[in-house]
Amino acid sequence: MSCPVSGMAGGQCPAGSVSGSRSSSRMGPRGCTFSGYAQPGDIHAAFDIPRGVDAEEWLRMRERKAINEVLYSNIPSVKEISGMKNIDELNVAEQDLLAVALGAPARQVMIRAEEIGPRTGWKDGYLSVEHGFCPPDYNESPGALANSPGRIWSDLCERMPGCVARGRVRESVAALPIIEGTPEIIPDKALWAAVVALGMLCSIYRYEDKNDGHEGVTVNPTKYRPNCEMSDDLGEELINIPRSIGLPYWQISRRLGRSIPHLTFFDQSSFNMKIKDPTSTYPYVGRFDNMEMRWPVFGERTEIAFQKGCADTSASFQHGPDAIAACQEHVMNRNVEGLLREMIRLKEILERMPNAFHTINTNPNSGENYVPGHQWVRWGKFSAPLSKRCPASSGLQFPPFLVMDAFLGRKKYDSFLGKEGLHLRAWLPSNLRAFIAAIEYHYRIPEFVQQSGDPRLMGVLDGIIEAYTGERGFMGTHRYKVFGILEIASKTGRTETNGLSGAPDSNDRPWEETHKQFSEAMKERLEPYRGNLAVEPHEMRGTFEECRYRSRILSRAFVDNDLNRSIAMVTLDLQNTGITFQPGDRLAVMPLNSWDECAKVAAALGLGDYLDYRVALNPQWKRFAQHIGAVRHGSIPHLTVKDILRRGHLAPITKELALKVHDLVRASSTTVLQVLATTEWPVRGSLGDLLQAALTDTNPHIWDQAFDLTGDMAWLADLIPVEVPRTYSISNYSQELLPSAVDLSISRAEYKLCSTFAGDQEILRAGVGSGFLNPFLNSNDELIETDEDVFIGVSRPLNFQLPIDRAAPCAYFAGGSGIAPFRSFWQARFARHSNTTGRDLLYLGVQSREKFCYEEELRDYVEAGLMEVHLAFSRDSRGLVYDRRIRDLVEKEMPPRYIDALIVEQAATISELVMSKKQGGLGGYLYVCGSVAVFDSVMNGIRKAIYNHCSATMETAEAIINKAFAERRFMLDVFMTPKPMPCNLPTIPLSQLARHTGHRPDSRMWIGVHGSVYDVTDFCPMHPGGTFIIKSNAGVDCSKSFDNLAHTNNPEVSSLLTKYFVGQLTPKPDFHTIPELGDLYDLWAAYLRVTVETLVAHQFEMYEIMGASDQDGTSEKYLRGSENVWSRENLVNIGLGVRMFYDYQSRLLQGGFSALFGPKLQELVLKLSFTLADAAGTGENMRLPDVLGIVARAKTSPEAVVTSQEVALVGQFVCDSSSNVRFAERGIFNYAAKSVELDIELLEDIREEACHGMDAFESVMAMEAGSDEQRLTVLASFLMQTLERMARRLEVFYSKLSKHRVYAPELERNPARTRWNLVRRKIKDGSFFILTQETVLGAAPAYMSVQQRKTGVDFDSVMSRIQASIRSAPKPSPAPQSLNAMHLARAITPPVETNAMATHENSTAVKAMSSFIDANMRSIRRLSKLPSNLSFEQIQAAMEQQQSDYGRVGRPGRPPTPPSVSSRSTPFRASSRAPSIDRMMASYNSRTAMHSSRIPGNHAHSLSMSASHSARSPPTPPLDAAAAMNAMMGKLNVRSRGNSVPPSPHGSVTSTASDRSRPGRSMSVRSVSQHQSGHASRLSTNSLRSFRLGSHTGNYAGGIERLPVKIAPTF
Ligand SMILES: Cc1cc2nc3c(=O)[nH]c(=O)nc-3n(C[C@H](O)[C@H](O)[C@H](O)COP(=O)(O)OP(=O)(O)OC[C@H]3O[C@@H](n4cnc5c(N)ncnc54)[C@H](O)[C@@H]3O)c2cc1C
């Protein structure tokens, strides 16, 4: 006989034999050593043993229960048996028998692990009742390692951040002696610490090897070769890794059961922590605030916060495995009540998990939680697997996810993340795999729940599903968090992501792609419960899908002395729902329309007799019907007319609703037209009002046809959409396991019916939701009883919860019904731990004494000394004052006041509460709840209070408040219904939106959302997701992100947004007669977007480097910001700051601003050139600005070379801080400040140019033109010139930057040494003589003349450059790739370091160019003047040849790699002989000599541009778009299309000369006013509009307004 647990034969018990004894005391209650033996933790809870009973005895008794009693307690009836096809099924499965004989499998795995683990160093993986998958003692293994010879590895780990900063990793590793990882040397107890230490050492060694000690410009061409033995013979993972770490890593991995040495994300985070206070166990020990990272690799905040956040996520699941094992036991024993208890426990554990996300914050003010997303790139490279065989280091391997997937019976693993999860599961430690298998294959909990039919179990299971993988649960929150961080990271330094993000064939941007992948995985998890979802998870937010429980109203009670009951306490039934809730949670309620409203519609449409008729449903109503079926656990119901009327949206009247009626009645109703002419949407009235009125003025025949009652009435479902739920804060706290009821405090939203329907009368109406829950007294809704289901759902706002620390003081600020959530707060605080709670203070603002809610309850608390209550009555002088001494609220006559006055009065206490402990305050938790007006009033009061009490300026007061927000001690629950939005304000063009990125001091930040513009400057510091997330969308239309983040359906967001509304975005002009213009518009808008996003993203990095300002936006000088990396990370060791600057600047220079000057720009050039060439006609020898040439030359100009050399010098410091550059320490500092400012200036200039281009689209449509083609041509030539100006700005940028030097002896502490060091270096590399030459001669570089000779190129040259660029663009890697290969790719440094966003945008542009060329090849050939035997490739080849002759360009179309400092090429070498495309073309085609242009104006302008721009002076401001085009139109009007006689060369030359002599702008405007009075008047109308807009926005004053003088950027 063999042991059924271990499989050991001969009745031998392996545990017994291991211990060497088989004494009866070691035997479990079932006679098996594995079960029940020394059961740790609460044995009563684990085995569901009644309290007060001897557990051992009880278990023994239970064991004595016959198996048949447990398994055959409910044998089916005779009737059922006779109907069975297969009577074998009557007998239980063998695994059931075995499990009843031995115990639940998951528990068995756990018990075994607990017994064996401590003796074997937990080599099978940590698994215990109390600590779950975390180590019971986080110090044990590192301690054991430190006491073994393996200490050399942990010692080196401790030095790692320093070694990395100094580029000394490889040297230090090579210097280690070889210590083997065998059991005699490294004890079992040290195994986990050893694998973490060695794994990290191997990875960082490989990282440094690949990146040559740093990223960026290569300064050290000779690779470091350590002189030591390597581990190449131990498998491909360890090739080129010194044996001193490779061999023990290999040995230790094998001892841990890892056939291939590898490190998991879980190892690196969870096993790499120290616990600060092991006694602080509530609610779990491994919390962010209770942990410290043991061995960081880079030592940056990002790494530490991220790792701690991940460890926290796992640790918060600490008690999950025990709860799951207990669930399984209860299933095995068919114990419904026990199962219910454990499932509720599991749900609570899961609901706590997303809290870990708060610890990873993108708000720079959030102290040690701050994670600058852009820094993550280094970690990505570091954590890449050592070989393609290795399992990836991915968050998917975190055991809680794999366990929960198994628990919930996930079946589908088809998505990328699904496949990866399965793959990684196979690499988990044995105990964890066994545990997962135990719950996946045996006693599946969800199946039992479904079979039980118990609604409570089903409700709790639904809660578990939601908490784990729902929209508002862990997975949903995770997705939002990742979205924000990835967006920032992708726009800055990140070049790659896990999870297929940025897949080359995807049309979405990298973070959107990741979002999609996460959604796919969420859907796979939900599939067993919700089937194939027709909508994306985020689309379910704010819809009926969130209301997954049925309830009914139990009572409506008065809570104050207001006879109208404007606020009522409404109690809803929760019996049998399985709902649990916590303080701060919210209830979503699907309201039912009032009977009166239903009646109005029914009467108008003649539906009175049809109320119970079935309606043919549209897809939305069908989904709703399915949803009802699922919630009722029954079949899909048929919906009737009454259902649609009760549950559809009848009020207020939205534009869509009015338009539908308008269409149905064939535009024949004047009332409907009157409503449609409103200036505010939605209209305050209902569908019933509208139909009632329209009925009287519509032809009955039309009416009958529109609302046909003879058919299936499908029009009814189409007319009335499903209503959306309303959200209410839960107002009570329950200690019951499953609360039986929930209280809400409902304030009836009342509004006046609009005059269209009310006429002169003042008619009050109640809002739909509040009117349903708290109807007018004596109304039909109050009186009519109904048995209809009320669908509800619970959600937990992560940002509105009680502090974990019970002793923390809490202040609640409420206005009116804003008191609602606080009742649950104080009930919970006093119920749970009345002795240990900190102070509770309520500041309440209401209109009058009559409206003081919950007075009695509050007075009880005041008397008991539990609470301080401070009141403000806004319309009542009968005040109440809190008297601390007598613990009472005392009557006092006082003038009416608002809550802000009360707060100012209490300034001292409130200031102390707001200030953090570090600032000497109390570090209190502050909660604000109520309408937006209450929120404003409270915030003003707090600002003033702090200002009066403890700050010198309002800015400091603001900073103190923002700190509290960042520390998540300031939380909001703002609940107001959206205000109607005016629709008659001037519209805001895209360019204006783009200009409001808020990165400069005192500038504003706007965002565009679904056609509206909002000024979110003031909201930014409060954004719960962190300031950077909102900032990364500054100046652009972020509707897509908004939708993805489910903000669109979020009532909180929409109500807040109405507060910040600025106006509507100008819609895209109607180009229907010229579709090409529409395409160009989209293309240009996309480019503008990229310019804005790039500018904003660069600011993030600049902020890190320079930290230029305070959070509040007040300006500070460079390097004085409190948050910049130099001051934050210790100035003495400036390595980190230098590295950060170097990473940033070298990436930028290597990529050559690739997002702006790469394929995206080329695509524009291609399409514009094509348009212009096409307009010029076949065979015409037209000249085009050489945009691409200018860019290419700028990037390879001597100035660019100088700049790269300078950055390379900084790079030397990075990879070797003991190099000679250390003498230029302050110079580096200074250089960094100068160069980032120049970077930003360039980006601002480019954005400004793009804005002008954008404005041109509207102007061109407003002009008189001979034909559409002319419009197109005018616009194309204007845009082409704009692009040329952009290219010139790049030249200027390099030219300016090249003037700055790291070498600035006057700044250094030891100037003489710096000078001497520089001279020595220059002499050594030969550049000394060049330097002298420059100083002595002081001559202007000769290349300038070359620039001046550039007068444009022809179409063929443009085409050949573009073809070359397409050819050289990186080819998308063939899909599908293997999972491992994808992860491995992370480690590979791309040839040019571009961020993920740029890579995506550029690859899309390359694809677009290729298809454009393919589609237009015939036309391109026609427009080309190439001889048929020559191709563009040949021209390009010739160009390349010529260029390489001059030693200028490396590879075509690719940004060149700046040369190393050791290169002896001098900046001036090739400059005077820059290749001339003209010359080359001349050799191919003699016709090139004809330099006549088909567009004289354009030619003139480009000439004047080239002449006026030297690379050393910035280009003049661009022309006003409208004026410039008017000028061009004037000239174009005389040109007849297809004219075979070209304009006289003299004519064009004359005009060129005269144009050149005048400043561009005045010339154009004057020519407009002289020649085109009609145009001028249009122009002025246009300008007038702009002017009005300008006065509205306060910033916009016409197209050519320059930006304010450049000053330090701000955040
Ligand atoms: C997080 C949160 C918690 C809340 N907690 C509570 C609470 O505890 N107690 C409480 O009483 N309320 C609370 N509310 C407010 C509540 O959700 C409802 O907004 C409120 O009851 C009004 O809804 P209604 O259906 O009665 O009004 P509605 O019928 O929605 O209309 C009320 C008013 O809003 C206008 N309106 C409606 N929709 C729009 C729109 N799309 N655009 C512009 N204007 C519109 C209408 O014209 C009308 O003036 C909370 C809200 C949130 C977001």
> Which neighbouring-strand residues pair with 928?
813, 972
Answer yes or no: are the C-beta atoms of 216 and 1142 closer than 8 Å. yes
Q: Name which of 1094, 1097, 1117, 1105 is nearest 1141 in CA terms.
A: 1105
Which ligand 1 atom is at minimum distance from the Cα of 769? 25
Looking at 663-672, 853-862, 1023-1032, which range is the least confident one?
1023-1032
Band of residue 1217 on the pLDDT scale cut at 50, 70, 90: low
Exposure b/e, 1415-1432, CB count within 10 A at least 16 = b: ebeeebeebbbbeeeeeb
Fill in the amino acid letter for 1146.
S
Answer yes or no: are the C-beta atoms of 1515 and 1197 closer than 8 Å. no
Q: Taking each helix axis from N to C terminus, what angle separates 320-332 and 336-352, rounded to the nearest 10 degrees?
A: 160
Which residue stretches of 159-294 are H helix? 160-166, 169-174, 191-211, 243-255, 265-270
Strand order in the sheet with 726-729: 549-551, 790-795, 586-589, 726-729
Distance in Å, CA 749 to ligand 1 centroid: 7
Cα gap 1188→425, rounded to integer Å: 51
Cα gap 1173→1421, rounded to integer Å: 11
Cα gap 400→317, rounded to integer Å: 7
Which ligand 1 atom is at minimum distance from the Cα of 747? 11
Cα gap 497→1372, rounded to integer Å: 15
Distance in Å, CA 1046 to ligand 1 centroid: 18
The β-bridge relationship of strands 810-815 and 840-846 is parallel
> Which neighbouring-strand residues pair with 324?
none
Rounded alpha-carbon distances, angstroms, from residue 1458 to 1192, 1283, 1369, 1455: 13, 25, 19, 9
Q: E-strand spans in 1078-1226?
A: none
Distance in Å, CA 554 to ligand 1 centroid: 22
List the residue whose alpha carbon is closest to atom 41 of ligand 1: 978
- H-helix or E-strand spanning residue 726: strand 726-729
Cα gap 805→837, rounded to integer Å: 9
Q: Helix-strand-coil percent breakdown of the chain, rounded to 5? A: 55, 10, 40
List the residue whose alpha carbon is closest to atom 34 of ligand 1: 977
Answer yes or no: are the C-beta atoms of 1601 and 1589 closer than 8 Å. no
Distance in Å, CA 1051 to ligand 1 centroid: 8
Could you tell me the end-to-end alpha-carbon distance of the chain, in angstroms, rounded to an integer?
Answer: 73
List the residue whose alpha carbon is closest to atom 15 of ligand 1: 975
Question: For residue 790, which phi and psi values (nearest 5 degrees)?
Answer: -105, 120
Cα gap 1605→1115, rounded to integer Å: 13
Exposure b/e, 1311-1322, CB count within 10 A at least 16 = b: eeebeebbeebb
Cα gap 1099→839, rounded to integer Å: 42
Mean pLDDT of the chain: 78
Exposure b/e, 414-434, CB count within 10 A at least 16 = b: ebbbbebbebbbebbbebbbb
Is the sign of the CA dihedral 1072, 1073, 1074, 1077 positive or negative?
negative
Tell me which of 687 and 534 has the higher pLDDT: 687
Q: Name which of 1167, 1158, 1079 is nearest 1403 in CA terms.
A: 1158
List the residue whose alpha carbon is closest to atom 40 of ligand 1: 978
Answer yes or no: are the C-beta atoms of 971 and 926 closer than 8 Å. yes
Tell me which of 1510 and 1045 has the higher pLDDT: 1045
Which of 669-678, 1074-1083, 1347-1356 holds the top average pLDDT? 669-678
Residue with tokens 């064991």: 63
pLDDT tens, position by position, 441-496: 888 999 999 999 999 999 999 999 999 999 889 999 888 888 888 887 777 765 55
Residue with tokens 């009166």: 596
Answer yes or no: are the C-beta atoms of 791 and 637 closer than 8 Å. no
Looking at 397-401, 688-692, 1217-1221, which range is the least confident one?
1217-1221
Which of 11-15, 684-688, 1491-1495 holds the top average pLDDT? 684-688
Answer yes or no: are the C-beta atoms of 879 and 893 closer than 8 Å. yes
Tell me which of 41 and 755 has the higher pLDDT: 755
Return the best residue to mutate from 585, 726, 764 for the ligand 1 pocket (most ligand atoms within 8 A of CB).
726
Looking at 73-87, 125-139, 1198-1212, which range is the least confident one?
1198-1212
Residue 579 has pLDDT above 70, yes or no: yes
Fill in the amino acid letter for 748.
R
Query: What's the pLDDT score for residue 1223?
Result: 62
The β-bridge relationship of strands 553-558 and 981-982 is unpaired
Q: What percent of the chain has pLDDT over 90?
A: 43
Looking at 397-406, 1195-1204, 1488-1497, which range is the least confident one?
1488-1497
Global confidence as pTM: 0.79
Residue 1587 has pLDDT above 50, yes or no: no
Cα gap 59→1609, rounded to integer Å: 71
Fill in the amino acid letter for 1031.
K
Which ligand 1 atom is at minimum distance from the Cα of 797? 1
Which of 1240-1249, 1256-1265, 1417-1426, 1569-1578 holds the top average pLDDT? 1240-1249
Residues with Cβ within 6 A of ligand 1? 586, 591, 651-652, 682, 684, 726-729, 745-747, 749, 751, 767-771, 817, 820, 973, 975, 977-980, 1051-1052
Answer yes or no: are the C-beta atoms of 185 and 1363 closer than 8 Å. no
Band of residue 1527 on the pLDDT scale cut at 50, 70, 90: low
pLDDT tens, position by position, 95-118: 677 767 777 889 989 999 999 999
* Tokens representing residue 377 in the block: 């790139």
List the residue whose alpha carbon is closest to atom 6 of ligand 1: 728
227 torsion bin: left (phi>0), alpha (psi -120 to 50), beta (else): beta
Which ligand 1 atom is at minimum distance from the Cα of 731? 8
Q: How many residues does the chain have?
A: 1611
Answer yes or no: are the C-beta atoms of 37 and 59 closer than 8 Å. no
DSSP state of 727: E
Tell me which of 1179 and 200 has the higher pLDDT: 200
596 torsion bin: left (phi>0), alpha (psi -120 to 50), beta (else): alpha
Residue with tokens 């050139």: 1169
Tell me which of 64 and 1464 has the higher pLDDT: 64
Query: What's the pLDDT score for residue 146?
Result: 97
Query: What's the pLDDT score for residue 1419?
Result: 79
List the residue whose alpha carbon is closest to atom 46 of ligand 1: 652
Looking at 271-275, 333-337, 859-863, which range is the least confident one?
333-337
* Longest CA–CA separation in the chain, Å: 115
> Which neighbouring-strand residues pair with 882?
889
CB contact set of 1520 (below 8 Å; sequence gap of 6+): 1561, 1564, 1565, 1598, 1599, 1600
Rounded alpha-carbon distances, angstroms, from residue 1573 to 442, 1268, 1565, 1570, 1579: 86, 21, 11, 7, 10
Cα gap 1466→1469, rounded to integer Å: 6
Angle at 286 between CA 280 and CA 288, to 5 degrees: 100
List the residue whose alpha carbon is closest to atom 39 of ligand 1: 978
CB contact set of 1534 (below 8 Å; sequence gap of 6+): none
Band of residue 1102 on the pLDDT scale cut at 50, 70, 90: confident
Other Cβ atoms closer than 10 A to 966: 23
Residue 1583 has pLDDT above 50, yes or no: no
Residue 528 preceded by cis peptide, ω within 30:
no
Cα gap 360→382, rounded to integer Å: 20
Distance in Å, CA 767 to ligand 1 centroid: 7
Query: What's the pLDDT score for residue 1479?
Result: 36
Cα gap 263→722, rounded to integer Å: 51
Band of residue 1592 on the pLDDT scale cut at 50, 70, 90: very low
Distance in Å, CA 798 to ligand 1 centroid: 21
Cα gap 454→445, rounded to integer Å: 13
Return the best residue to mutate from 728, 779, 971, 1047 for the ligand 1 pocket (most ligand atoms within 8 A of CB).
728
Which ligand 1 atom is at minimum distance from the Cα of 744? 8
